[in-house]
Amino acid sequence: MNPKHFAAVVVLLATVGAAVRGQEAAGADAVLEPEVKAEIQARVDAEAAPEVLAREAKLAWPLTTPTKTVAQVSEAIETAVEKEVARKYAGADDVGKLGAETREKFRVFKVGDRVSFRTMAPLGKDAPVDGILVAVSEQKIHVGSRWIDRGDVPEEIQARFYPDLAARAADQYVKAKLAAVKKAREAYAAAGHRKLTPIFFGNAGYAQHPDTGAWTASQEVIELLRERKIAAITTEIGTARGYILKDGQWTKKTFLEKINDTKNTAVEKVAERKAERQKAAQEAEKERAAKEPEKAARGEENDKVWGEDEE
């Protein structure tokens, strides 16, 4: 290299280096400028005021200090739910009442009773039976002048003619009834917890923690939300005004950091354009694939026409 050119390059590099070091030194001690602080404070006053955050979180304002522990509130909810469930399902699992209902439902017919039911006839066609019960044997039921095979009678109807089946059906019925009542009670209780929990805790001065969902004093939740809101506003405005957060302090971006930002932005734009091209290519491929059956159909029609011409 020409000595003069080499010397010029050295001087140029030294000049750029000095400029960069100078900007880095100036930026290291920089803090947010007064107008930037004022802009941030205006946003904080408008968006991060406790009453604003409470309204967004659907909390009653002013906030109240909890006077009960979480355990005490939970116990109050449980008591209220149990009371309401007991009211709604009072007597639903009364064994005595259920037993009387079951005995009537599965009362075994006696000879001389008028009976009415439908049989399971061949080919899936049932046939009505109505008349006076004359006799019941192990395999047949005699109603009026008809003898009906026991196998043609649905099992739930057979239970009205055979005591052993009646006892079994009654037992199954009682168990099913009790299980259904238990399931309904549990579902109703769960719905009660979902409804009453936010009401009771809200009235007691609690709110759900945004991260864990645990019931926490509402003042603590609002303080946490306020801290995060202020940090978000500061980051948004500070970044837009050319600052960067270093070691917990906002400083002006250095010359190199601005260059890196520009480079990163350029890289991101290139990546975005590449992604857009790939997406466009995929869409074009989908469109082409969708048209293939249509082209094939037209080809088949043409083949038929040409075949006919050749004949």
The larger pLDDT score, comparing residue 182 to residue 268, is at 182
The pLDDT, as a whole number, for residue 125 is 60
Is 289 inside a domain boundary? no
**pLDDT digits over 142-162, tens only?**
999 999 999 999 998 999 999
Neighbours of 66 (CB within 10 A): 19
What is the pLDDT, as a whole number, of residue 204?
A: 96
Residues 100 and 181 reside in one and the same domain: yes
Q: Residue 67 domain-assigned?
A: no
The mean per-residue pLDDT over the stretch 241-252 comes to 85
Residue 130 has pLDDT above 50, yes or no: yes
> Does any domain span residue 71?
no
Residues 46 and 102 reside in one and the same domain: no
Phi and psi for 117 in degrees, rounded to 5? -160, 180
**218 and 175 within one domain:** no
pLDDT number for residue 308: 43
Q: 209 pLDDT exceeds 80?
A: yes
84 lies in a domain?
Answer: no
Sign of the C-alpha dihedral computed for residues 203, 209, 215 and 219 taken in this order: negative
Residues in Cβ contact with 116 at an 8 Å cutoff, skipping those fewer than 6 apart: 128, 129, 130
Residue 297's pLDDT is: 53
The CA distance from 173 to 156, in Å, is 11
As for how many domains the chain has, the answer is 2
**111 & 39 share domain:** no
Q: Quick check: is 88 in a domain?
A: no
Tell me what the mean pLDDT of segment 241-260 comes to. Answer: 74
Stretch 46-73: mean pLDDT:
95
- 105 and 166 share one domain: yes
Work out the angle at residue 132's Cα, subtended by the Cα atoms of residues 127 and 136, and round it to the nearest 5 degrees.
85
Domain that holds residue 170: 95-185
Of 77 and 241, more confident: 77
- Asked whether residue 103 is assigned to any structural domain, the reply reads yes
pLDDT in tens, 259-311: 566 555 666 667 778 888 888 888 888 887 777 665 555 545 444 433 344 44
Exposed (0-12), middle (13-18) or buried (19+): which is 209, by Cβ within 10 Å?
Answer: middle
How far apart are alpha carbons 204 and 218 in whole angstroms?
Answer: 9
Q: Look at residues 130, 164, 185 and tell me which one is the last residue of a structural domain.
A: 185
Tokens found for residue 170: 């009654």
Residue 219 lies in a domain: yes
23 or 159: which leads in pLDDT: 159
**What pLDDT, on a 0 to 100 scale, did the predictor assign at position 292?**
66
Question: How large a percentage of the chain has pLDDT more than 70?
Answer: 77
Winning range, highest mean pLDDT, from 101-105, 114-118, 272-276: 114-118
| In the predicted structure, residue 201 carries a pLDDT above the cut 80 | yes
Show the tokens assigned to 168. 């079994």
Name residues whose C-beta falls within 8 Å of residue 226's C-beta, 6 or more positions apart in sequence: 48, 50, 53
pLDDT at 225 over 80: yes
